[in-house]
Chains A and B, each alone.
Chain A
Amino acid sequence: MYVAVKGGERAIENAHAWLAEDRRGDPSVAEVSVAQIREQMTLAVHRVMAEGSLYDPDLAALAIKQSRGDLIEAIFLIRAYRTTLPRFGASRPVETGAMDCDRRISATFKDLPGGQVLGPTFDYTHRLLDFRLAAEGGTPESAVSQQVAAAGQMPRVSDFLNREGLIEPAGEGEATPPDLTREPLAMPADRALRLQALARADEGFTLSLAYSTQRGYARNHAFVGELRIGRVAVEMDIPELGFAIGIGEITLTECETVNQFTGSRTEPPQFTRGYGLVFGQSERKAISMALVDRALRWEELGEDNEGAPAQDAEFVLYHADNIQATGFLEHIKLPHYVDFQSELELIRRLRAEAMQATRQEAAE
């Protein structure tokens, strides 16, 4: 019995020791270093930072190593660590317009100021296993340096449309947005809060919701107006100094969708916006986020509620967090024999009564 009286303590110790052994794997194979994970498993590191809501590639790499590559477990480690960090202030909003881009593409214009820059993308690779990697052969040749426009030389696609009045203006939010990690989530959630929740939402859940909108569950006709990946400066106001100083640089993926909109009772025909912003390089997540963001905006745009999952803010926000979801899902493996016992008693009693009734009927 795994709950044998006085056995729990030793069982836990043994389980931890076995886990540590399994994590290391075959000791004759070299141990993977945190730096190797950080440099060579970059996209996993980025996902852990994004959904862990903590930008620290070294800690994310450590979490991946410790969790044996289970990314949700790694995200959980980061979230739990994040709880213990003191909060000493807030940065200024980052200026993604001034991003130092590695990648910038638009699906809506063939060419545009700043150009289309593919950057390090899987998009046009053929998905063929590269057995040269199995041979672990050296360092790839460095890419021929592409002329990438300098930071600040890449105007936003949405601004071109805005100039003509073809796209809704980007609404101004509250000066200080709510903080999901410091205040309990409350409904109705405004857009800033929804975006915050989506930014740390599970990639798979967000992807599937976004996909469902494409297949007709609250379809919103999205074009990727612009997708950009690169580094932005993080600046913070220092009260003693009276001005902002740069405290570092982070990599972000930003997606702005341009959505067809034929007008509603309250809004004229115009293009509308969906927005996605994620730590690190994660286009799948950023595009998904933009589609779900747009679907959740049905009410302010006067669209019909089709009853689609992606339109339902309570459904989306209460189920998007993989740490909450995995915790509650997996907790059903904990002992429940007290509740189960009471169910047993009930079922036995109901059955006994039902059987007796059947026997009585047969006798009559």
Chain B
Amino acid sequence: MTGTVQQADYNFAYLDEQTKRMIRRALLKALAVPGYQVPFASREMPMPYGWGTGGVQVTASVLTPQDRLKVIDQGADDTTNAVSIRRFFEATAGVATTTRTAEATVIQTRHRIPETPLRDDQILVYQVPIPEPLRFLEPRESETRKMHALQEYGLMHVKLYEDIARHGHIATSYAYPVKVEGHYVMDPSPIPKFDNPKLSDCPAIQLFGAGREQRIYALPPHTKVVSLDFEDHPFEASRADHPCSLCGATDTYLDEVITDDAGGRMFICSDTDHCEARRARGHRGKDAA
């Protein structure tokens, strides 16, 4: 409950070495077969399922004492759960932490990819709630595994087509499905589709952990990742059509903040580190102090 975990009470980064070895094996397999969901014996962690237990187990397994860890939730380092996970690793692994994307060697994220381009000496760990992109079309795991094996993705294309027929657009705005190296259809976790292009040809290692669903998958560096679309309805990364009120950026993903009860609102960068760095360099938006 309130108890803080002390480093001495537990193994480095909480998990025992046998468990880490099991997870690393799953990670290696996942990297060898990009986009394939590898089952792994997820452990019960001291935070609830749904709070990022998959990401936490992956981070715990790749972390070394020399690493510098950044944790974000919704793009921000200071959201309550990001604070909680960062503290967990400070206590159990004693690693250095940072809020600067450029300084981090391991970044655990929920729902965003940082705006600052990643490098080849960085690992991005995603927290994944439902790893199966076909889950809401077919609830049975036994079926969806077969569909992936046979690349039977017609159902997904029909769903996207029906969206266009009914709404004129593909009505998926986050967790937008992608195809990895021309084979597996993969759920990129609930990142906004604005972030999808960053998945492809990324120099960093991207690891995805789904604790409750006991699945790990991965994108090795420079993997080709294509968002599903149609020739006449090409994929489009969308964002709110405003500049950031604080730093003036026009190319970042924005949060909408309600400022009063009369329709007042402002748009600010969801990536707090990126926004702060821009302001430090002298960029100003209309509401900047």
Contacts and interface: CB of A to CB of B under 8 A. Distances in A.
B84 interface: yes
B9 to A, nearest CB: 9
Interface in A70-128: 76-77, 79-80, 82-84, 86
Tell me the dominant secondary structure on chain B's binding face.
loop
A3 B16 contact: no
B212 A328 contact: yes
B230 interface: no
A94 B240 CA distance: 63
B67 interface: no
A138 interface: no
B235 interface: no
Contacts of B39: 184, 186
A16 B2 CA distance: 5
Nearest to B174: A339
Contacts, number: 158
B46 A80 contact: yes
B194 interface: yes
Contact of A79 (B44, B73, B173, B214): B44
Given A8-B79, A353-B168, A339 B50 contact: no
Contact of A19 (B2, B46, B112, B142): B2
Interface in A334-349: 334-339, 341-346, 349
A188 B145 CA distance: 12
Contacts of A328: 49-50, 129, 212
Contacts of B215: 184
Given A84-B10, A314-B142, A338-B74, A2 B173 contact: no
A320 to B, nearest CB: 13
B129 A331 contact: yes
Interface in B1-16: 1-2, 10, 14-16
B147 to A, nearest CB: 14
A244 interface: no
Contacts of A16: 1-2
A187 B75 CA distance: 36
Interface in A319-364: 323-324, 326-332, 334-339, 341-346, 349-350, 353
A331 B51 contact: yes
Given A188-B142, A346-B173, A6 B78 contact: yes
A349 B78 contact: no
A164 interface: no
A76 B41 contact: no
A76 B48 contact: yes
B125 to A, nearest CB: 17
Interface residues of A, number: 60
Given A79-B44, A342-B173, A331 B50 contact: yes
A337 B53 CA distance: 20
Interface in B24-57: 39-46, 48-51, 53
Contacts of B74: 3, 335-338
A23 B167 CA distance: 51
A334 B168 CA distance: 31
A7 to B, nearest CB: 7
B45 A334 contact: no
Contacts of B84: 12
A9 interface: yes
B1 A67 contact: yes
Contacts of A6: 78
B177 interface: no
B76 interface: yes
Interface stretch (B148-156, B200-208, B252-260, B277-285): B252-260
Interface string B124-149: 00000100000000001110000000
B190 interface: yes
13 contacts: A5-B272, A7-B78, A20-B2, A76-B48, A79-B44, A80-B45, A82-B44, A184-B39, A188-B142, A323-B49, A330-B48, A338-B74, A350-B169
Query: Which 10 residue pairs spanning A and B have beta carbons closest together?
Result: A331-B50, A327-B49, A342-B173, A327-B48, A184-B39, A184-B214, A16-B2, A342-B192, A79-B44, A339-B174
Interface of B: 1-2, 10, 14-16, 39-46, 48-51, 53, 73-76, 78-84, 111-112, 129, 140-142, 167-169, 171, 173-175, 190-194, 212, 214-215, 238-240, 253-257, 270, 272
